[in-house]
Amino acid sequence: MQAITCAQIKRYAAEYGFSAAYCFPPEAEDRAPEGIQTLVLLAREYTPGGRLTDRFYPASNAAYHEVKRMAERISDETGVKAERLSELKMKPMCRRHPAFGTGKNTLNYLPGIGSRFCMELIGLCAPVESEECAAYDGLSLDCGTCDRCERVCPGGAISAEGFTKERCIRYYMMSGRVMPDELRGHVGLRKGACGIIGCDLCQRVCPANAKKETQRTEDDDFTLAELLDCDRETLARFAALYGKNYAVKNRIIAQALLTAANNGRAEYLERIRRLEDNPSALVAEYARWARKKLEEKG
């Protein structure tokens, strides 16, 4: 049987832009495919930012492409079959792994990085000796009586009772679901959720992310006008940057409508009125809401 070590895996991970790699045998609840003897959980750090699209998403898309190349290279160079595992749930793996902490917002945390990372998973058809690592320092994520994330969440999704996804703005963004009225007004504002995808408010205020917050940038890859039009070229660039699954024209336009209204962009009013007759029920609903809000602002 071919052999590979955790140290080798970590070297590959670093070459493909991953900040950390953890090797461990699968457990029954992981539901790993037959033949998989080792799971490799990979974390890719990113710098927070963006007002229209959260910077998590280009980082996640880059990680998706890099992990496939990494798996192919491991297979070619070591003879150990490696494959990207897309269907397995990684959060439960993190919660049982000593290197990770878990916040009230249900997100996973790593020392020095906080929650600012995306994850990928590789399965290996060979055993790898698990590497001992220090347990996550509880003081780095001492939620205790801290309720910053609870207080900042626009929908009240985080509470002492737990996390309620139906109250989270991100649950509706780019999903095709119609966002409740009480959440729409928080989209696209400087101190609100992102305009198109991503609400990281609970991460922004978390003390464990304080260091990363000093690096925040507001740079965006698109203008609001481009996203309202969402022509073929814009859609293609959106897919290349954030992944094909998010490049859904009507959903992008719908989010852009909320952002335009919340920022008082009256110059788009005629365009918004025309979209009230859009075949997409989501676009039409958000266009009516946006038009009414802009008219009320006068």
CA angle 65/69/74 to nearest 5° reads: 145
What average pLDDT does the segment 221-247 reach? Answer: 97
Q: What angle do CA 282, 172, 215 make, to 5 degrees?
A: 125
Please state whether 291 falls in left (phi above 0), alpha (psi between -120 and 50) or beta.
alpha
Q: How far is CA 100 from CA 58, 134, 144, in A?
A: 23, 10, 17
Q: What is the pLDDT of residue 287?
A: 98
Residue whose entry in the numeric block shows the structure tokens 């954030």: 242
Whole-number Å distance between alpha carbons of 264 and 173 = 20
CA distances from 76 to 41, 57, 96, 267 (A): 20, 29, 31, 56
CA distances, 171 to each of 105, 148, 150, 183, 199 (Å): 13, 20, 17, 11, 9
Mean pLDDT, range 175-196, rounded to an integer = 96
Task: Please give the Cα distance from 57 to 7 (Å, whole number).
Answer: 28
pLDDT digits (tens, 9 = 90+) for 195-208: 999 999 999 999 99
**In the numeric block, which tokens belong to residue 119?**
């994850």
User: Strand, helix or coil at 119?
Assistant: strand
Q: Where is 43: in which H helix or E strand? A: strand 38-45
What number does CATH give the domain 6-140?
3.40.109
Segments making up each domain of the chain, as ranges = 6-140, 221-298
Say what the pLDDT of residue 43 is.
97
Residue 30 in contact with residue 88, Cβ under 8 Å?
yes
- What pLDDT does 139 receive? 60
Q: How confident is the model at residue 80 (pLDDT cuts 50, 70, 90)?
A: very high
pLDDT over 70, % of the chain:
98
pLDDT of residue 36: 97
Q: Would you call 297 helix, strand, or coil by DSSP? A: helix
Give me the amino acid identity at 37.
Q
**b/e map 155-192, b = 16+ CB within 10 Å:** bebbeeeebeeebbbbbbbbeeeebeeebbebbbeeeb
5: Cβ contacts below 8 Å, ≥ 6 apart:
128, 129
Q: What is the mean pLDDT of the chain?
A: 94
What pTM was computed for the model?
0.93
pLDDT for position 140: 65
